[in-house]
Chain A
Amino acid sequence: MTGQSTGTGEYSDFVAVFRDRYEKLAGKLRGRVNHRPTDAIENMGGGSDAALIGMVSDIRSTASGHWLVELEDTNGTFPCLVMKDRPIADLVQQLLMDEVIAVEGTLADDAGILFVDSLYFPDVPRTHNPSTADRHVQAALISDVHVGSQEFMEDAWHRFTDWLHTPEAEHVEYLLIAGDMVEGVGIYPEQDKELDIIDIYDQYRAFSEYLKEVPADMEIRMIPGNHDAVRLAEPQPGFDEELRDIMSAHDAQVHSNPSLVTVEGVTVLMYHGVSLDEVIAELPDEEASYEEPHRAMYQLLKKRHVAPQYGGHTRLAPEDRDYLVMEEVPDVFHTGHVHKLGWGEYHNVVALNSGCWQAQTEFQKSVNIDPDAGFAPILDLDTLEMTVRKFS
């Protein structure tokens, strides 16, 4: 969407983007339940079976420990009750606000509430069959370089780029960077005291120099992150002309955040990952934690949206459609942001959260976060096998 941002910050833009989200995700659920609009359900007889596809607008626990989930469609809202002793009660723990789900169940006698029997996510089909490259070719998937920070691991970076020049790396033809090229300025108070390079443009110039160490024939794809000098609200457009001119090394291609990029036939959904913080905070530890960031990514895949919850950590810039929906199932889902390394497969989709190139910061130390710094995950595009190389 870079250069295509149409939002002007009107109320109607907000409505449009949520409607678009609903329509797109509801489309993925329609085959599974027989959706009745909320206003139609209100008029149904008590006790009858009903199904509803809705955006989660509220989740509460009742005095007796059951879950009351309010679902919304384009006609209105309807309360749905998930009894605590049903197996699906566990699914409620995984719900985030503003994601779209489908439910089936029975209406109460006064038709004022739906007792939920089953609950569906848009999800990735288990049968998903990923595309692969038709030759042996590899891509390095990294993120969170943070050039300009005093903690930027220059030596590790040199080892990494040196390695790229070795025969061992001869098949690594692509470099994907999922945001936070530089440390940025003004990201947090008094950040200037922890900066190695104070000037933001100098940071990008330095980054560009580091990028030049990469073999000239590698293709580079990158998206911005929350430390980069673009708007923080998502979707984030790619870097502007001025920054692109600075980062001209190797003719790197700049995309927006998130972006679906295709390399050698393999589709990679690149997303910086700000919403991971929220997913990890909101969901139970066994579903999502900083130790296993890829599991939080599974949740996003299941919800088919990179940042469902509105109003919290994630900031939304309203556009004419919801660019954050995963309309297509990617073959690879690549994020960063949390500075932890983790990967796995979810319904045949490779989910990877690359680590970072910034050593532990004072802040991280204070909250006891130990980042995975100096790792380069290498993906075989023909087999979607992952190898992680350590350079720190």
Chain B
Amino acid sequence: MREADEQYFETLETQLEAAFDVAERAKERGGDPKPEVEIPTARDMADRVENILGIDGVAERVRELEGQMSREEAALELVEDFVEGTVGDYDSREGKVEGAVRTAVALLTEGVVAAPIEGIDRVELLENDDGTEFINVYYAGPIRSAGGTAQALSVLVADYARALLGIDQYKAREEEIGRYAEEIDLYDKDTGLQYSPKEKETKFIAEHMPIMLDGEATGDEEVSGYRDLERVDSNSPRGGMCLVLAEGIALKAPKIQRYTRNLDEVDWPWLQDLIDGTIGKDEADEGDSAEDANGDDAGEGADDDGGDEADEQAGPPRVEPADKYLRDLIAGRPVFSHPSKSGGFRLRYGRSRNHGFATAGVHPATMHLVDDFLATGTQIKTERPGKAAGVVPVDTIEGPTVRLANGDVRRIDDAEEALAVRNGVEKILDLGEYLVNYGEFVENNHPLAPASYTVEWWEQDLAAAGADVQAMQDSPHIDLADPSAEEAIEWATEYDAPLHPKYTYLWHDVSIEQVCALADAVEDAQVAQADGAYADPEMDGTAGDAHSDDGALVLPRSDAVQQTLEHLLIGHTQDEETITVTDWVPLVRTLGFSRSLERDWTREDLSEHARTYGESESLDAIGVAEDAEREDGQNAIKAINEVAPFQVRERAPTRIGNRMGRPEKSERRDLSPAVHTLSPIGEAGGAQRDVAKATKHADDMSDTPGQVEVEVARRRCPDCGTETHQANCAECSGTTEPVYVCPDCEAEVERDESGRAECGRCETLASPTQYKVLDLQEAYRDALQNVGERETAFEQLKAVKGLTSEEKVPEPMEKGILRAKHDVSAFKDGTVRYDMTDLPVTAVRASELDVSAERLRGLGYTEDIHGDPLTHEDQLVELKVQDIVLSDGAAEHMLQTARFVDDLLEQYYGLERFYEFDDREDLVGELVFGMAPHTSAATVGRVVGFTSAAVGYAHPYFHAAKRRNCFHPDTRLWYEDENDDWEYGTIEELVESRLDDPQEDDFGTLVQELDGDLTVSSLGENGPCRQPVDAVSKHPAPDHLVEVAVGDRTLRVTPDHTMLRAGPDGIEEVPASDLAAGDDLPAYDGGETTTMTARGEASTAATDGAAPTDTVEAVEYVESDVDHVYCLTVADTHRVAVEGTYVGQCDGDEDCVMLLMDGLLNFSKSYLPNQRGGQMDAPLVMSSRIDPSEIDDEAHNMDIMDAYPREFYEATREMKDPTEVEDVMKIAEETLGTDREYTEFRHTHDTANIAAGPDLSAYKTLGSMEDKMDAQLEISRKLRAVVESDVAERIIEYHFLPDLIGNLRAFSRQEVRCLDCGESFRRAPLTGDCRECGGRVNLTVHEGSVNKYIDTAIRVADEFGARDYTKQRLKILERKIESVFENDHNKQSGIADFM
């Protein structure tokens, strides 16, 4: 490590320690569940592993073993330590096994996920039928986040420990073997497995497994045979076990074998049979593999075709169009280009400084011209190389080309100009260039696509041709990037080099016919001088050279010529008679004319090959099919090279299709409803959870106001014995401890070493909570007094209904009062958070960060990227790895948080204020925590500046350090539904027809489905609203994901995905698998209130007393190969609330930041929900410094060069694999472990400002869903690369129809719910009233949510030319809906024949 780097980290760590000291002092004063800071610091992976496990000594041992061996081997080595007792403090044999297994999983997951804690419930010692003992490992759902290898290895580790401890093997009973097979099959069907073992395979594994795999039930479906087994607790599938057996053992057998071979004690000879695939393979399998093989062959065949360019018979090198990204198109998110269609984005290679992984550089002018639908950070779904990318502004690439209303065509290379001409744009002929870095192809293992011909390539061609490029670069008279026509032609002829890209037109996008017609037009053309006179070209001296006073070429206007020029991207002006082209000499020279407009060729002179060359677009491309038959000769590049006096390269052979994915995000994260304090007030606070209201609440006249019974902790002060529910003792200020009491015999129970408290007599689990009547009036008054605040200091103080944590320790209300005062809210763990879309940046300018150069120098930025001293704001400096750029919104929120923290220190803890900020500049240099979704480790970051873009810019390594790839959409997920995944069974039962979608889990994804009677409880509040979920869509898509589309946003979750649900005790976190239709999900109104139609609104009048939540209407599960398989569309008629706040997407590039001191002071594990997944997304440990070797691999694939070599560009034309050029390329991986690992991240392209273009996507600024959709269709009309009827068709097919069909289906099998207590029922009670409270019951899916799209869908189908088939489906659907909701007696009656 360089000294500068060491210094940097020491600065951070010193700062961190100082903050830590303050926080420790504050914590000692009591009031918090623990008297110390609860986020341990980890300097490296070993620390994280130790901290996450809480087992002392692990880190030290891991560090010893690291470097000597692989992590897998280290995990096995640690087994011996556990068995011998040198690591861990376990007395029992099962304890030792448990410690070893958890450690192995933690080690393999780098200590950043909760799988080691939550994925393994316990290890037990049980008895075989022959009286010997065996080991049972009890898995839970979150083991999923460990991934197959770690899962498999956990079994091996358990077995190794077992062998060392001399415990016998597990001998499965016949019925248990059958149970495994049935259960895995059931789980696969319900939830989906990445790998579905055949029944024989499962049985084979079960028979041979030396330890028992067990686990907790994760679904509601039950097995039909093999029920009620003695040694299996549940009749439902045990998700964790299924994953370990199928995706771990069965799928990773070869990996396990590698380790079993090295262990004498462990022998799993049967693995070989698994690996050989001789188990359970039947003919069908062979058929499959044969097909696969064919598929591969076909793929290779295509490659070959491409590679044969040298062969005269072949067409041009082209990648195959791919339309996967268009699937599941939803209303409001425009398509920018259909697959590989001319007029779409042109692929240019390079890495801009704000580029890294999963990003795409787009010109800011393009962003504006697509009506601002693209902004910095907007996610797009793309054709290649990956599936999705975040948009970043790059202004050193070419902008879009447009035709204005007067027919003029020009390229717009300036954002200001784009805004100026935007209203006059009639057609966007070309979207401009699209910058993708080499690393992105490496990361996605995508063959290189042919490169655009650009200046950086041409310069190398020129040098290769013998020119002294260095000298030319140094010459003040030559601009290599922007030469005059004269220079360009001169270089091309003198050096026999290809024509400069500036004058190279898109000849490959026009046909031979068009070229010939253009040539004919040129023959009839005249040259006009600046004074308007026509010059006689014959008069004008020597042919061939261009001059600055050449005047303009005036061609007779015809539609064909105009179109040809447009496709060539040649700027021109026109009137009714003529088309005028300036700077025309390279054009006519390329066309084989002299500058005196004489040509010496005719069509017959062209070779056969040139005349029949190529198809400009694939025959089956979208929107082309209906055209007349395509003929040969669609690509004129060969012909042009035959007639031009110099070489002309293909200008833009690769076009990249894409569409909008999710909008960028920069929002505070609030629970919904947002709460200020995690202290319980029951129902007394009303739907708003208003503490003041609760203090006055009384159930009836005889009750004392403010007396509320809630479930809270049962604790006792160890010093004075005082009993309380608070974390600290009111008498002596000591920290209290939980008291566990058996619910049956009411005896106190001690916890054992694993933390379980089981009553010895009753064998039931003891509980640390009690029901207690709290005097809220007193508590509120005391709290106000303690912090010296008055009620007028804030508008409203909101608390939670009940606590979801295991011990139910309430947070001190004082903290809430101060949060309310500063308008920040508490997340479930007590922290204040702000979410931002991640974007990478490796070099920054002080000017764009709104900080001074001096300030940056103060942070250690002494030199710019060229090594010059940093003196002014425009210099580029290399960003340090843990420095981050906050969005304006985040900065504002951090300031509020800082004021809250200062007040908290001063008024509550009685310490000095820590931050004392005046304005946001003071934030620069302060530390924050960054966290990615689904992880349990925070990374310390330092604020370096601010951006107006709604994103969080940081070093790619910082993002990667936080991130862990979860299982993605690609992994087959479960559902047939939504993103992902959950236990579908449950969902299915609940809402049979709802869909969920996507990806992984956990967090915060809110699926909102509304039952229709949900209402918007209050607009004034953070706008939690209740809305009906519109629809569930099921799409024939690829992965198993659960996608929940809420309104016009789509959430994808995996089955394990944690969702927030409004339960009887407030917001609870549940795995998505437990959600059912009719559940209320807390909704957050992110301001996207939309109204599609007036209908349906009526049913959503607010009901008092119900939580501000959305109900899930419909969820469906689908298996799809694609990312999004199913969508739930929450009715966006109403507000689409949910998503914004809570969703942690798995493909997650939305991370959150927390202010350091807030995290240190307020985070407590004791607040975390007691559900599986509750510990995800909580900073169980923090990394104080990033070790590049320990971060997510994707960052290692980022290229760090300042120019790509010519070999690279040439390799793209052969569509080579990215690895074939790795020798000439440099990626970050190469510097790992060296001195340079934190520096020298070079880029090939600069950009003036990392926040160029619109600050917010139009998607976020447009109001209603219908407005968005209209804008989407409007753009589709304007873009040459988009086929508007296809867009309309897809919106109907993937959004409206699934919504309509899903909701209609949901309606006729919906649950009902009590408006008063929220209880839901599978079917209407016969009494009509709530079975629980006697309250009013209503439907969860109403007419309004069923038919809300029908009129819009029919209109879109008509206006945009959908197929008759689609129109007919809509018409029939409309009738079906009417048939359900219309009373025949109220309309003209038909024939009344009747059963």
Which residues in A have some Cβ–Cβ distance to B below 8 Å?
Answer: 1-12, 14-15, 18-19, 22, 55, 57-58, 61, 65, 72-77, 97-98, 185-186, 189-190, 192, 198-200, 229-233, 235, 237-238, 240-241, 244, 253-256, 258-260, 284, 310-312, 314-317, 323
A302 → B minimal CB distance (Å): 20
Q: A185-B1368, A231-B1376 are in contact. Are A2 and B1392 (CB under 8 A)?
A: yes
In whole angstroms, how far apart are the Cα atoms of A240 and B1310 in the complex?
26
- A76-B1395 in contact (CB<8A): no
With A5-B1383, A61-B235, A74-B1326 known, 15 other A-B pairs at CB within 8 A are A3-B1391, A8-B1383, A10-B1339, A11-B1324, A15-B1324, A61-B228, A77-B1331, A199-B1364, A230-B1375, A241-B1390, A259-B1395, A311-B1311, A312-B1309, A315-B1305, A316-B1308
Query: What does the 1/0 interface line of B1293-1312 toward A look like (CB < 8 Å)?
Result: 00001000100110111111
Cβ–Cβ contact A72 & B1385, under 8 A: no
> Does any Cβ of A come within 8 Å of B34's Cβ?
no
Q: Does B1216 contact A (CB under 8 A)?
A: no
Q: Are A312 and B1393 in contact (CB under 8 A)?
A: no
B185 CB to nearest chain A CB (Å): 14
Closest chain A residue to B1077, Cβ basis: A311
Contacts of B228 in A (CB 8 A): 61, 65
Q: Which of B1034, B1312, B1327, B1375 contacts A229 (CB 8 A)?
A: B1375
Query: Smallest CB–CB gap between B972 and chain A, Å?
Result: 17
Whether A310 lies near B1322 (C-beta < 8 A) is yes
Task: Please provide the chain B residues from 1337 to 1395 with a CB less than 8 Å away from any CB of chain A in the complex.
Answer: 1337-1339, 1342-1343, 1346, 1364-1365, 1368-1369, 1372-1373, 1375-1377, 1379-1385, 1389-1395
With CB as the reference atom, state the residue of chain A lying closest to B1306. A315
What residues of A have a CB within 8 angstroms of the CB of B222 in the complex?
61
Q: Give the contacting residue for B1392; candidates A4, A65, A73, A198; CB below 8 A.
A: A4
> Given that A199-B1364, A229-B1375 are known contacts, is A98 also in contact with B1393, CB under 8 Å in the complex?
no
Nearest residue (CB) in A for B1364 is A199
Q: Across the two chains, which residue of chain A brings its CB closest to B1326?
A: A74
Task: Indicate whether B424 reaches chain A with its CB closer than 8 angstroms.
Answer: no
CB-based contact A1/B1326 at 8 Å: no
Interface centre among A1, A97, A284, A323 (most CB of B within 10 A): A1
Residue contacts A-B, CB under 8 angstroms, 30 given:
A5-B1384, A6-B1385, A8-B1383, A9-B1307, A11-B1338, A18-B1323, A18-B1326, A19-B1326, A57-B1323, A61-B228, A76-B1327, A77-B1325, A186-B1301, A189-B1034, A200-B1372, A229-B1372, A230-B1376, A231-B1377, A233-B1304, A233-B1308, A235-B1395, A237-B1384, A240-B1390, A260-B1395, A310-B1323, A311-B989, A311-B1309, A314-B1309, A316-B1308, A317-B1308
Picked from A76, A190, A323, the residue with its CB within 8 Å of the CB of B1036 is A190
Cβ of B227 under 8 Å from chain A: yes
Give every chain B residue within 8 A of A10 (Cβ-Cβ).
1339
Interface residues of B in 992-1027 (CB under 8 A from A): 992
Number of A-B contacts (CB under 8 A): 162
Q: How far is the CA of A6 from the CA of B1338 in the complex (A)?
A: 19
CA distance A15 to B1336 in the complex (A): 12
Knowing A5-B1384, A11-B1339, A18-B1326, the reply to whether A310 touches B1309 (Cβ < 8 A) is yes
Let me know if A240 and B1375 touch, CB within 8 A: yes
Contact of A238 among B1307, B1385, B1393 (CB under 8 A): B1393
With a cutoff of 8 Å between Cβ atoms, the chain A residues found around residue B363 in the complex are none
* B235 surroundings in chain A (CB, below 8 A): 61
Chain B residues with CB under 8 Å of A9's CB are 1307, 1339, 1342-1343, 1346, 1380-1381
Q: Is B1035 an interface residue (CB 8 A)?
A: yes
Q: A198-B1365, A200-B1368, A315-B1309 are in contact. Are A14 and B1339 (CB under 8 A)?
A: yes
B869: Cβ under 8 A from any A Cβ? no
Please, which residues of chain A bring their CB within 8 A of the CB of B1393? 2-3, 238, 253-256
Contacts of A97 in B (CB 8 A): 1322-1323
User: Which residues between 1267 and 1323 of chain B lie within 8 Å of chain A, taking CB atoms?
Assistant: 1297, 1301, 1304-1305, 1307-1312, 1322-1323
Identify the closest chain B residue to A55 (Cβ): B1326
Given A5-B1383, A230-B1379, A317-B1308: A72 in contact with B227 (beta carbons within 8 A): no
Question: What separation, in Å, do the CA atoms of A241 and B1389 have in the docked complex?
Answer: 10
CB of B1307 to closest CB in A, whole Å: 7
Give the A-binding residues of B (Cβ under 8 A). Answer: 222, 224, 227-228, 235, 989, 992, 1034-1036, 1297, 1301, 1304-1305, 1307-1312, 1322-1328, 1331, 1337-1339, 1342-1343, 1346, 1364-1365, 1368-1369, 1372-1373, 1375-1377, 1379-1385, 1389-1395
Of A65, A190, A200, A317, the residue contacting B1380 (CB under 8 A) is A317
Q: Which chain A residue has the least Cβ–Cβ distance from B1385?
A: A6
Chain B neighbourhood of A14, CB < 8 A: 1312, 1323-1324, 1339
Closest Cβ of chain A: how far from B1289's Cβ, in Å? Answer: 12
Cα distance, A230 to B891, chains bound together (Å): 57
Q: How far is the CB of B53 from chain A (nearest CB, A)?
A: 33
User: For the complex, what is the distance from the CA of A98 to the CA of B1035, rounded to whole Å?
Assistant: 31
Given contacts A22-B1326, A199-B1364, A317-B1308, contact A11 B1337 (CB under 8 A): yes
The residue of chain A having its C-beta at the shortest distance from the C-beta of B1344 within the complex is A9
A residues within 8 A CB of B1384? Answer: 3-6, 237
**B1373 and chain A: residue at smallest CB distance:** A186
Bound: A185/B1312 CA distance, A: 31
Give the Cβ gap from A284 to chain B, nearest Cβ, in Å: 8
Residues of A within 8 A of B1312 (CB): 11, 14
Cα of A253 to Cα of B1395 in the assembled complex, Å: 12
Contact A189–B1035 (Cβ < 8 Å): yes
Q: Are B1372 and A15 in contact (CB under 8 A)?
A: no
Q: Closest approach, in angstroms, between the C-beta of A223 and any C-beta of chain B?
A: 9
**A311 touches which of B992, B1338, B1376 (Cβ 8 Å):** B992
Q: Determine whether the beta carbon of A18 is less than 8 Å from that of B1324.
A: yes
A19 to B1034, CA, bound (A): 33
Shortest Cβ gap from B758 to chain A (Å): 17
Q: How far is the CB of B1015 from chain A (nearest CB, A)?
A: 15
Most chain A beta carbons < 10 A, residue from B1304, B1324, B1382: B1324
Contacts of A255 in B (CB 8 A): 1393, 1395
Q: How far is the CB of B1305 from chain A (nearest CB, A)?
A: 6
For the complex formed, measure the closest distance between the CB of B1131 and the CB atoms of chain A, giving whole angstroms: 15
A57 to B1365, CA, bound (A): 42
Q: Is the Cβ of B1380 less than 8 Å from the Cβ of A7?
A: yes
